[in-house]
Structure 1
Amino acid sequence: MIEDEISLLDKISDYYGNTILKELKSKKKEIQKVFNILIEKEAKKFNLVSENSVHNSRYVQVISRVKKKNSFREKLIRRNIGSKIINNLKLTEQNFDRSKAKISNEVENLDDVIGLRLVCDLNKDCPGALEMISNNLGFLKEHKISFKTGEIESQPQKMKNGLSIYRLKGVFDDRIGFELQIKSKIDEAWGELDHFIFYKDYSFFPSKTSVQQTMNNVGKLLDKIEDLLYDLRRSKDDYNKNLKNLLFTQELSEAYSSKIKDILGFSYQVEKLAPTLRFFIENYYPTFNIKDEENSEMSFKFLKYETSNENYKYYRNRSIELKLIEAIYINVWECETKQKLTSENYKKFSSHLCEALLENIKEEILQADTLSDYDQDLIENNFNLLIKFNSNENPWISGRLFSEFSKIRREVLDFISENFESEMEDEILGEDEIEQIYSIFLLCQFDANLEEFLDNLTERNYTQQVIIKLKEKYSNSISLNIIEKKINVFSLQILNHLAI
């Protein structure tokens, strides 16, 4: 029986190698051509192009492959695909030739025989490449390319090792399946090496587990190299950005420093206000010239008005920085909208202001963060958690603390994936508990009401064990960086409360 099935699988593989493969290679070229056109047309809009006085270069390119005959045969057997084809088509030696058209359809529908990769220079470019695809689904559809429902929204996906991957299942011409991955050049090279060493090596050798752990650690080191390369690439952009910030801060100081001093009775560092106000102006009123406000008056009448967000009001009334930001932004808003702020329209204005403040926080975090999966929704959820548990540090204007926390979060998640891999695979340490663990560190970072949160933990299977092991790791380290020192202090703080 098994001999008959293997014989049929060999015939399918031969038919694939002699006939189907040629057709798939042709379709692969068509698909790749569409993505090359898309990149040529749209890459600049999504910050995937570098421009200088000499030449322009793209941060993303398309590579593709179709599985070779031997790899295809192995796929048929290893993933039971061949058995399904045989059973679905009721294949026999006698009807094989008559079933070739149906076999072609079955193979063409497989979602990873054709593989494409958008290879980006750095991991930081991958979200932009995904956004480029997401914003051009109409263009792709015109060229007979579509993605299965939910594919775009579910990216990036979590792998068993805790790392993330961008992997989308697509269809060309309503029948040809393909898989599209988005990854950096370093991840591409690393994946090829890891694949070569382990993917098709099913043999046992005593050091295999330790070798795999070493490979995983090297992979994490490569992530840190990615961060350094990104910093180097950003250095020129940062210089230009910092120059613009300096010019804006100077104009802000000239327009408002003396007014603020008259109100407070002492000089105030307007540079603390500049990044937020610059974000507001550039994103909402880009034609506004702050020099026009040199003769305007600052008013704080809005403090008496009813706001649309009581949480914002709570923090604003305890922050001179937020009060000043709002007062200056009111000047901008009045100048640009040709309206006067009143108690009647203040709720609408304050709603806009809160949205703008949150968008500023998100932008600041995403620019500083190297975690592709720390997206806007997750940031907003973290923000709301801080509001709920009364953080002492002001979350409305603490982008720096959020950015620093993203590195703490990454360190904690890496530690969990490295030390609790089997528990994650068995799903006894689930995503909800992992999210709960890093939320505890978020509350520590913002000096929120940690006690209330810990007293109401919904998942306790491994939370304490993870924090104990984190404390043990960093307590025994000779030299700690800033992030590791914070994790060490926070772990002790958490364990003291839990009386471990």
Structure 2
Amino acid sequence: MKLEIFDFIEEATGHLCELEDQLEEASDELEKFFEFEMEDFEGFLNINTRVKTKMSLKEKILRNNYYSRYENAEEMIYDLSDLIGIRIECRFIEDENKLYRKLLKVFDVTEDGKYFSTESNPDVKLKLDDKQPQRQKNGFKIFRIDGKYRLGENEITFELQIKSLVNMFWGEIEHKILYKNFNYVMIEDFFRDIMGSIKENLSMIDRQLMILHDHINEMDEDNDEVRKNQFQKLLSKMIHNMYSHKIKGDIGFVVDFRKPCDIIVKYIFEKSKVYDVSSYSITFLGILGRLKDVSQNEISFIEYIEFERYIKFEDEYEKRLGEPILGSLNQDFMWNLLFRILFDIEIGTDTEDFEGFIAFIKDEFLENLKSNGKLNSRFEDWQRNDIVDKVMNAIADVFQENTCIEFVNYDNIERINSKITTRVNRVKNFEDWRDQAFEVVENIKQDIRDILE
């Protein structure tokens, strides 16, 4: 049986095909309109338009988990802000702001204070009440404006961007190397630092050389922890590469699943009770042999996951973490993908592997609390247990309200644990805990929500 999300995708791409002629017509009309409005501006270079493709739509649905956010595919299609993409290209970065100011002057007719049109063409509307430029997830800013175009009786959404030559150059590099390239890059953070340096200031060569120097020193450092991380990174890369081919062969394209590969590797090494470098080498070779064994296995990424028996949880913490995942397993593609790969690699039943993984995630948070030196020295056992119980339930509360796979990305687990340690260590004694427990717990919940945004 197919995952429902793929039926949703088929329905969505069907609606997109039905709109194709209208979108192409609207794209042509909008290109002509904005070219006419901008042609007398000194910094203006070109207008570039594109209509969203079926493959791009498929990737966006999976990446943003739209299946769980919309009642049906048609509603989602008409709610997308970028069925048509329009880019006004200009010479310099300062021209971006000047072009935006020009749009504010030209689009001066409004009925609701949000969307504005021109006197010459009321069918083209721009949402100009948002602050511009907008800050992206990567930290950089972009002039990005939502728009609507009335074509006959239909209203079609589009996204307008204003970009200088430098930012177009930067955007192409980022899009191909970091955003669309899902091949695992072992030194991804290094590349991000280099590209961020170029974006901020092309003359900061010394900064680039410093990053390069530090990176090479770290790779050569004779340090057990560094070597362990290298083992895990290499194995995660190999798993990613192997399953990338399988995913592309099954669904036609590859999604970004590097973070799930990282947590799978962490789980495998933890399950193997590997604590020293020599054991890491042995375990690493064993997993390589297992990957070789399963490399020829046929695997489907569009089918339901079904278990051989009911899942058993060891305690309430595991139950509160595990049940939301069970509910999302055949609804959320990334959860399904994580466990599909884990079950394929691990020896044993799928049920046992699922139970083991949930116990592992629980312990990643629980052991952080149990190993807290200040928590152990300041409180008696029963007092410490009360604190641990409330904090663990706070984690479960947020997980149940937002069962996203980002919760188990290992860097997020470390960030959550760091925030929890900081909050708990501020409590000096149990009397303070009684007075502050509610506030501390609520702050921890908000910390986690902020990390997952």
TM-score, structure 1 as length reference = 0.36
Structure with the bigger RCO (C-alpha within 8 Å, sep 6+) is 2
- Rg (Cα) greater in structure: 1
Q: TM-score, normalised by structure 2?
A: 0.39
